[in-house]
Chains A and B, each alone.
Chain A
């Protein structure tokens, strides 16, 4: 068990290295550099002073040296300065991080609330009308593009029916820390989270359905039945215990989607999170923020898959062999 875990962590080191090199060269290819954020729109600087400053900041050094310095700064949590907002990138990201985190968590919770019962029912009553309806739903949720679904949802429930707010994460003037504040945030969160969950339920439903269908014919389930265990307990105690653990392990893979998938949701629901920050930054050509966000997403994705792989190997020993 520890051997696999250790090997899996070791694999991540070259991945981290390649990721940082990739992001570094992509950042180099973008217009602007570390100095741009400091001097932009400052007419008092002569070209000579700028050149001196460039030399002092090491922007004329060989790429290797610059790369090493950039990685060193990353470790210190220094992500540079925003060209547009003239503040530390870490501060900009920090102000949005919580919102994206809440949205991600809400999507995950809704996904499980919807998909776990549907998956179990679908497998338990295989080939019934209920199963066919649920399978039809998974076809729909698999094929529907997220941005179309989100637009239709915001149009119907936000604008036409007026049940939910259509943008923002909280109304202005609500006192933070109060119960009203919490409910207000939740109200803003529900619709985007539902839109995200609708599309991400497919995999879990299909996985659970297949698991239940496979497991309920196995010997230990037959044994439980012949002992006289009631049917509901056969499912809750014997079948689900085997099937639910891997689903918990998929959490790590979902970390990747939390950032990237939210580009559409945050832009359509006007939700001030990291996805929206990314789109705004790239439109305003604020490339230091863009670079930082790509690096962080890549990092999160690597850590997420690492966690999932390790948890899965603990749950299912067969994986450790390969």
Chain B
């Protein structure tokens, strides 16, 4: 009798398994470090994009010989550089450019990597083989050196050229990850059932497999965003990043290539460096929390 009663348990006690989005959200709230990182990131984004209306790039980049190398004061919150330009204004503009461009590279690399990874993993066979040989090859190439070479030899170098050069190298890692996941996914019953029912391949990929990959893609994109901002600012530091006229946080840090500035004028490079560090750490903490959420064994709650 008891068993029967259980079999006919009222329907409302059956829990719907939570969607991948609500799992990601719940993990973020549980993890205090990730939550405070998220709050910081939101305030940071509002500040840098909102201030665009108040900060005028011409005024920030204006050379003011009366106030060269001025230490931080109420006029110039973070002092001025060798040409008397306000560092604080440059940091705000640089942060905006670095974040925007890192974000665009991440989106583009994800879009291309996702498409190619889905195709390689789903169809397999010779297509997969050719694509994977190519990906393995690109992954071995000396990435930084080639980016620097392309940045130097591209005619009419501008922001888009930089974005595409970076994307050309960065989609491969993503495609490899997605392909591995699709390989596992396509053996599952629901894909086999759809195939048997005659669902067209693109529908299985777009509406069957893709939603199941969404959480992995989100996690990977978050971590890549942090990495891409790091690479962009690093290249800009070396002088092979964003073109002249588009200040990056890395461009400000490159003041420190002069040992005299590195040693004696900390405000010209340290605040921008710390901002890069904090920004990347915050995005990473969010990414790590999301990563834990995708692995049921590691969740906090």
Contacts and interface: CB of A to CB of B under 8 A. Distances in A.
Contacts of A143: 226, 230, 280-281, 284
Interface centre among B145, B146, B233, B238 (most CB of A within 10 A): B145
B99 interface: no
A91 interface: no
B253 A147 contact: yes
A9 interface: no
B273 A264 contact: no
Contacts of A74: none
Contact of B284 (A11, A30, A142): A142
B284 A145 contact: no
Contact of A293 (B145, B233, B273): B145
- By secondary structure, the B interface counts as helix
B149 A301 contact: no
Contact of A139 (B259, B270, B273, B288): B288
B40 to A, nearest CB: 14
A302 interface: yes
B171 interface: no
Interface in B117-152: 133, 137, 140-146, 148-150, 152
The range of chain A's interface size is 35 or more
A321 interface: no
Given A139-B288, A154-B262, A155-B262, A260 B238 contact: no
Interface in B139-192: 140-146, 148-150, 152-153
A201 interface: no
Interface string B259-278: 10011001001100100110
Interface residues of B, number: 39
Interface in A21-42: 22, 26, 29-31
Given A139-B284, A139-B285, A155 B140 contact: no
Nearest to A291: B149
Nearest to A31: B153
Nearest to A145: B230
A174 B124 CA distance: 62
Contact of B149 (A19, A26, A305): A26
Contacts, number: 107
A155 B145 CA distance: 26
Nearest to B283: A143
Nearest to B139: A305
Contacts of A148: 253, 273, 276-277
A146 B288 CA distance: 20
Contact of A278 (B145, B153, B281): B145
A113 interface: no
B113 interface: no
Contact of B259 (A30, A152, A166): A166
A279 interface: yes
B94 to A, nearest CB: 14
A267 B238 contact: yes
Contacts of A152: 273
Contact of A264 (B133, B142, B238, B277): B238
Q: Which 10 interchain pairs have the tightest Cβ spacing?
A: A297-B142, A145-B230, A143-B284, A159-B263, A260-B142, A148-B273, A301-B140, A147-B234, A260-B144, A143-B281
Given A148-B253, A282-B148, 17 more contacts: A19-B141, A30-B149, A140-B281, A142-B284, A145-B230, A145-B234, A145-B277, A151-B253, A155-B270, A260-B143, A263-B238, A264-B238, A279-B148, A279-B238, A290-B149, A298-B142, A302-B140
Interface of A: 11, 14-15, 18-19, 22, 26, 29-31, 139-140, 142-148, 151-152, 154-155, 159, 166-167, 256, 259-261, 263-264, 267, 278-279, 282-283, 290, 293-294, 297-298, 301-302, 305
